[in-house]
A = this chain, B = another copy of it.
Amino acid sequence: MSDRSSGEAGRLGGASGVDQTAVRRANLARVLDEVRRGEVVSRAEIAARSKLTKATVSSLAGELIERGLLRETGLRREGAVGRPGRSLELDGGGISALGLEINSKYLAARGTDLAGRVIVERRLGFDAMNLPPEATLDRLAELASEAIAELADQGSPRAFLAGVAVAVPGLVDAGTGRVRYAPNLEWRGVAVADALRERLGGEVPIVVDNEANLSALAELHAMPEPADDLVYLTGEVGVGAGLITGGRLLRGAGGFSGEIGHIPVDLDGQPCGCGRRGCLETKIGLPAVLDAAAPDLVAAGADPQDQAHALRARAEAGGPEALAGFDEIGRWLGIGVSMLVNLLNPEAVVLGGYLGTVAPYLVPSAMRQLRERAVAGEAATCRITASSFGFSAAVRGAASIVVEEVFTDPLRIPSGGDTAAG
């Protein structure tokens, strides 16, 4: 694996060069994945599992070591017979990933290393709903710069930032990182990736994605056994869905899937922020719930996480009015979930945001609706569970897609000679 065949050379080398690079990329990813899954494995074990020759595995492993993705560990016998082989384990301590989140009420950052170990985590209340996009992007860039500096400090001397991913509560053109429409931010056509690139300078890749999509991926990556079909429901100011079907994120033709919050459940119902009437969001969105069940908790700029905990405390106190309120919200939640179940037949619906915080008070009545409304009956009745990530699922998912991208394309990481500090 000479310089001649590096990613750049491959791209410049015409069609055949590109193919060679694609094959090498796939093989590097395969070796890296074997180590990730095996934790500590020898080159011979990788060769046996991947069906690559030992010589190829050695060459690929050498390249992954040069790129700081793998390191050699001590000696290890491979089994009863055979010579002892030098084992490999994941390195990546110097390689970091940064996830960011723009929420209508807060901004968040989460920086991890390649093994997902958290190096920096920040969250600050921010009233993005009532400020122009530029002010929000300025503050987000500041937060990102602080986090990047901390990643560079705390990482190894060979610190390299693999990428930045930004979660936003809206519809995103994935290709350009432009927010097409974010109803609860009142943003239309905001070029988030470009704005952040300009403010941060440098060459780091920046992607922007919908918060529900990223949250769904965070749940998927965290499951002990990956679910092929799951839905993540955000429960904040807005209600959106991240859809995993057949083990993959369902994005749709333009990347605008999952807009369950604006599906009408009551055509003559209350007006919604989107200009329509009776959307699911008007029944189970956090503002609607606060209005109905706890008007005293409504305060401009209040953090939804605090409001969710206050709601939960109220439910725990168990006043009949509060419980009846939660029962009613659970009923509408169940109507929404039964639509998802009838259309998509997921194994699980994961409740995020405030829906997760108060899940015990919603799920029984939601399950009653689901049992009544699932056309396939018990066979399609899926479990409704609370996310274990609270309000951090989106920013977790953002950091984790950067990590996954490195595992898919190890050529993103430069080899030893041309390291760039994050």
Chain B residues contacting A390 (CB-CB under 8 Å) are none
* B346 and A256 form a contact (CB under 8 A): no
Among B181, B267, B382, which residue has its beta carbon within 8 angstroms of that of A375? Answer: B181
In this assembly, does A252 line the interface, its C-beta being within 8 Å of a C-beta of chain B? yes
Distance in angstroms between the alpha carbons of A342 and B335 in the assembled complex: 16
Closest to A246 in B: B248
Chain B residues contacting A255 (CB-CB under 8 Å) are 345
Chain B residues contacting A373 (CB-CB under 8 Å) are 262, 264, 276
* A267 and B266 form a contact (CB under 8 A): yes
* B379 and A342 form a contact (CB under 8 A): no
Chain B residues contacting A245 (CB-CB under 8 Å) are 245, 250, 252
Q: A264-B373, A267-B266, A339-B263 are in contact. Are A252 and B345 (CB under 8 A)?
A: yes
* B376 and A343 form a contact (CB under 8 A): no
In this assembly, does A388 line the interface, its C-beta being within 8 Å of a C-beta of chain B? no
Interface membership of chain A positions 236-275, coded 1 if the CB is closer than 8 angstroms to chain B and 0 otherwise: 0000010101101011111111111011111100000010
Interface membership of chain A positions 360-384, coded 1 if the CB is closer than 8 angstroms to chain B and 0 otherwise: 0000000000001101110110100
In this assembly, does A141 line the interface, its C-beta being within 8 Å of a C-beta of chain B? no
Complex interface residues of chain A between 152 and 174 (CB less than 8 A to chain B): 171
Q: A246-B248, A276-B373, A343-B260 are in contact. Are A379 and B180 (CB under 8 A)?
A: yes
Q: A256-B380, A263-B339, A264-B335 are in contact. Are A250 and B375 (CB under 8 A)?
A: no
Closest to A261 in B: B375
* B228 and A258 form a contact (CB under 8 A): no
In this assembly, does A347 line the interface, its C-beta being within 8 Å of a C-beta of chain B? yes
Interface membership of chain A positions 329-348, coded 1 if the CB is closer than 8 angstroms to chain B and 0 otherwise: 00000010011101111110
Distance in angstroms between the alpha carbons of A340 and B255 in the assembled complex: 14
Distance in angstroms between the alpha carbons of A251 and B207 in the assembled complex: 30
Among B181, B252, B376, which residue has its beta carbon within 8 angstroms of that of A259? Answer: B376
Q: A248-B246, A373-B264 are in contact. Are A379 and B345 (CB under 8 A)?
A: no
Chain B residues contacting A264 (CB-CB under 8 Å) are 265, 335, 373
In this assembly, does A183 line the interface, its C-beta being within 8 Å of a C-beta of chain B? yes
Chain B residues contacting A181 (CB-CB under 8 Å) are 375-377
Distance in angstroms between the alpha carbons of A241 and B344 in the assembled complex: 10
* B375 and A345 form a contact (CB under 8 A): no
In this assembly, does A45 line the interface, its C-beta being within 8 Å of a C-beta of chain B? no
In this assembly, does A186 line the interface, its C-beta being within 8 Å of a C-beta of chain B? no
- What is the minimal beta-carbon distance from A374 to any residue of chain B, in angstroms? 8
Chain B residues contacting A183 (CB-CB under 8 Å) are 375
Distance in angstroms between the alpha carbons of A379 and B170 in the assembled complex: 14
Interface membership of chain A positions 71-96, coded 1 if the CB is closer than 8 angstroms to chain B and 0 otherwise: 00000000000000000000000000
Q: A263-B339, A264-B335, A339-B263 are in contact. Are A252 and B375 (CB under 8 A)?
A: no
Among B266, B342, B376, which residue has its beta carbon within 8 angstroms of that of A260? Answer: B342
In this assembly, does A303 line the interface, its C-beta being within 8 Å of a C-beta of chain B? no
In this assembly, does A121 line the interface, its C-beta being within 8 Å of a C-beta of chain B? no
Distance in angstroms between the alpha carbons of A171 and B206 in the assembled complex: 43
* B253 and A382 form a contact (CB under 8 A): yes
Binding site for B on A (CB under 8 A): 171, 180-181, 183, 228-229, 241, 243, 245-246, 248, 250-260, 262-267, 274, 276, 335, 338-340, 342-347, 372-373, 375-377, 379-380, 382
What are 22 A-B contacts defined by CB distance under 8 Å?
A: A171-B379, A180-B379, A229-B252, A243-B343, A245-B252, A246-B248, A250-B344, A253-B346, A253-B347, A253-B380, A255-B345, A256-B375, A258-B343, A259-B376, A262-B342, A262-B375, A263-B338, A265-B267, A266-B267, A267-B335, A339-B339, A340-B343
